[in-house]
Amino acid sequence: MNVRNIKLEISYDGTNFHGFQIQPDQRTIQGELQKAIGMIIKQQIKITASGRTDTGVHARKQVCNFHTESRIPVEKWVDALNSLLPEDIVVKSATEMPFEFHSRFDVKKKIYRYSIYNDRVVDVFRRNYTWHYPYSLDIETMKKASQLFIGEHDFTSFSSAKSEIENRTRTIYEAEIGKIGNEIYFQISGNGFLYNMVRIIMGTLVEVGSGKMSLEDIRSLFREKNRSMAGITAPAKGLTLWDVEY
Amino acid sequence: MNVRNIKLEISYDGTNFHGFQIQPDQRTIQGELQKAIGMIIKQQIKITASGRTDTGVHARKQVCNFHTESRIPVEKWVDALNSLLPEDIVVKSATEMPFEFHSRFDVKKKIYRYSIYNDRVVDVFRRNYTWHYPYSLDIETMKKASQLFIGEHDFTSFSSAKSEIENRTRTIYEAEIGKIGNEIYFQISGNGFLYNMVRIIMGTLVEVGSGKMSLEDIRSLFREKNRSMAGITAPAKGLTLWDVEY
């Protein structure tokens, strides 16, 4: 049999999911996707993704792949899956890849965007996609602070203390802070991210923007390797997996 | 007793409401607002709005008012109500007005915006706020057609056939079509709108954009006064009450 490797680019609104990874009795993105694929090929399969996303975290572009003996032409997968998937997951494209392509191991770069709604009253249309932060923030200082994360660093201070991963060194390629209307966005790209890393960096940048932490405090966080000295873990709903590059 | 007239500017995501107007056993914007106000002043009151919105229609800015003997300072109303309201209704401002102010009768201008998501695959984050229309549209012709609605016209062809209202003449001040990314928006302002009017105009403009109707067809619709010759009623979720001016 000829086994094909199908890559899917998907997008989802994480609001009503218990994260990406399949779990018994929970609504998950992986669970819904595997169910829809299973209905098409009449067979249970397991998909791989570029990485998990947590409960409430969104994806503008997430990449998955799966192997199948199905002969369904690759251009049919998008409409077939979208007709079966719930409305908060959308398949944007399907491509046949070489057998060896792996959506997690082959990642070259991941891009996340975190959005803050910075006005007194929440924007009802952005309530599930932004962290409502009603106090003033010094964006210029936050921009300076964001640059300290670029390069190769040990991110122990900026990852969940529960994480058991040993190598906490990651390389950040770009970090940008900007403002559109009342929304402040923080976009960061790197070769990989530890658990909660973007949300803890965001929480720390907000401490800087509100004057509670200084640039020097961030520099010492890289030396101290102590999660408890960094800012809070910013709420999941403001985070979106923006893009994945191979 | 000193009776005060409080004007509220509110914003709501219409997705999970059965429209603005209170109805028994249905979740409505008026119902939720009156409940929250009632909890604060310990008294049942009735609010008036600039007009109703249908099931699924949103408001970026809707204006309401109510009379109360409560002495709560006007600047406290925003936070007090937002702490009690569900997350899909937000009070943006509260102002004390002269006793005579009436949020419906005193309207000078209403502005609506209709949004179409015009790409093959839906945008998951805009699914509740846009009409997903996957076929190509000729925007330049739609722009020309939109200009035919400006001025004073009998809008019988562009209002629900069920409407029992006698005077169907309304004045449109501005009509604009634009495109941002994959989104086509149609913004229209006037002194008043008939039932389903913006949605039927939108449905008709899409007929024009897809080549099924001509500019001349629109001109004859104004003469014929026949709803069945116009385009479909575009889906409610693409419509947003954008602004109300007094």
Q: Residue A170 and residue A147: Cα distance in Å, rounded?
A: 15
Contacts of A225 (CB under 8 A, 6+ apart): A154, A156, A157
Q: Are B74 and B94 in contact (CB under 8 A)?
A: yes
- A54 by Cβ neighbours in 10 Å (0-12 / 13-18 / 19+) ranks as middle
**What's the DSSP call for residue A135?**
S
Region A52-72: mean pLDDT is: 96
Considering only CA atoms, give the Rg of chain B.
19
Question: Average model confidence (pLDDT) for chain A?
Answer: 96
For B72, other C-beta atoms within 10 Å of its C-beta total: 14
Q: Which one of B54, B88, B106, B217 is the catalytic residue?
A: B54
Q: Which residue has the higher pLDDT, B32 or A161?
A: B32
> Cβ A124–B78 below 8 Å, yes or no?
no
Region A148-165: mean pLDDT is: 91
> Cβ A129–B129 below 8 Å, yes or no?
no
Considering only CA atoms, give the Rg of chain A.
19
Distances (CA, A) of B239 to A64, A177, B125, B235: 34, 32, 16, 8
**What's the DSSP call for residue B50?**
S
pLDDT at B179: 97
Which positions in chain A touch B88 (Cβ < 8 Å)? 124, 127
pLDDT at B115: 98
Region A141-165: mean pLDDT is: 93
Closest among B61, B102, B120 to B242, alpha carbons compared: B61
pLDDT at A234 over 80: yes
| HSE, side-chain direction, 13 A CA sphere, residue A22 | 11
pLDDT at B166: 84
Crossing angle for the helix pair B197-209 and B215-224, to the nearest 10 degrees: 150
Q: pLDDT tens digits for chain B (246 residues)?
A: 689 999 999 999 999 999 999 999 999 999 999 999 999 999 999 999 999 999 999 999 999 999 999 999 999 999 999 999 999 999 999 999 999 999 999 999 999 999 999 999 999 999 999 999 999 999 999 999 999 999 999 999 999 887 778 899 999 999 999 999 999 999 999 999 999 999 999 999 999 999 999 999 999 999 999 999 999 999 999 999 999 999
Crossing angle for the helix pair B139-147 and B215-224, to the nearest 10 degrees: 30
Distances (CA, A) of B209 to A201, B140, B184: 46, 8, 11
pLDDT digits over A86-117, tens only?
A: 999 999 999 999 999 999 999 999 999 999 99
The two three-digit tokens of residue B75, written as one number? 């600047």
CA of A219 to nearest chain B CA: how many angstroms apart?
36
CA of A2 to nearest chain B CA: how many angstroms apart?
29
Closest residue of B to A123, CA-based?
B90
CA of A151 to nearest chain B CA: how many angstroms apart?
32
In DSSP terms, A131 is beta-bridged to A116
Closest among A106, A79, A74, A109 to A91, alpha carbons compared: A79
Q: CA quadruple A82, A126, A19, A9: dihedral positive or negative?
A: positive
> Cβ A125–B58 below 8 Å, yes or no?
yes
For A13, other C-beta atoms within 10 Å of its C-beta total: 24
> Cβ A122–B90 below 8 Å, yes or no?
yes
pLDDT at B242: 98
How far does chain B reach from its first CA to its final CA, in angstroms? 28
- Name the residue facing B121 among A58, A82, A127 (closest C-beta): A82
The two three-digit tokens of residue A23, written as one number? 């779990």
User: Strands (DSSP E) along chain A, which ranges?
Assistant: 4-12, 48-49, 58-68, 89-97, 109-117, 131-132, 151-154, 169-180, 183-190, 239-245
Which of B124, B182, B183 to probe by mutation at the A interface, max A CB count within 10 Å? B124
Task: Please identify every residue of A annotated as catalytic.
Answer: 54
> Cβ A124–B12 below 8 Å, yes or no?
yes
**What's the DSSP call for residue A26?**
S
- Name the residue facing A121 among B12, B90, B124 (closest C-beta): B90
pLDDT at B135: 97
| HSE, side-chain direction, 13 A CA sphere, residue A180 | 6
pLDDT at B164: 78
Closest residue of A to B87, CA-based?
A124
Most confident of A134-148, A150-164, B150-164: A134-148
Region A121-147: mean pLDDT is: 97
CA of B79 to nearest chain A CA: how many angstroms apart?
9
CATH class of A4-97: alpha beta
Q: Confirm whether A4-97 and A109-245 share one CATH topology.
A: yes
pLDDT at A242: 98
- Name the residue facing B125 among A92, A122, A129 (closest C-beta): A129
**What's the DSSP call for residue A5?**
E
- Residue ranges per structural domain of chain A: 4-97, 109-245
For B188, other C-beta atoms within 10 Å of its C-beta total: 24
The two three-digit tokens of residue A78, written as one number? 């998008």
Q: Are A64 and A31 in contact (CB under 8 A)?
A: no
For B97, other C-beta atoms within 10 Å of its C-beta total: 17
DSSP secondary structure string for all residues of A141-181? HHHHHHHTT-EEEE-GGGS-TT---S--EEEEEEEEEEEET
Contacts of B234 (CB under 8 A, 6+ apart): B114, B116, B131, B199, B200, B202, B203, B206
> Cβ B123–A11 below 8 Å, yes or no?
yes
Which positions in chain A touch B124 (Cβ < 8 Å)? 11-13, 87-90
Fold (topology level) of A109-245: Alpha-Beta Plaits (3.30.70)
CA A233 vs. chain centroid, Å, equals: 14
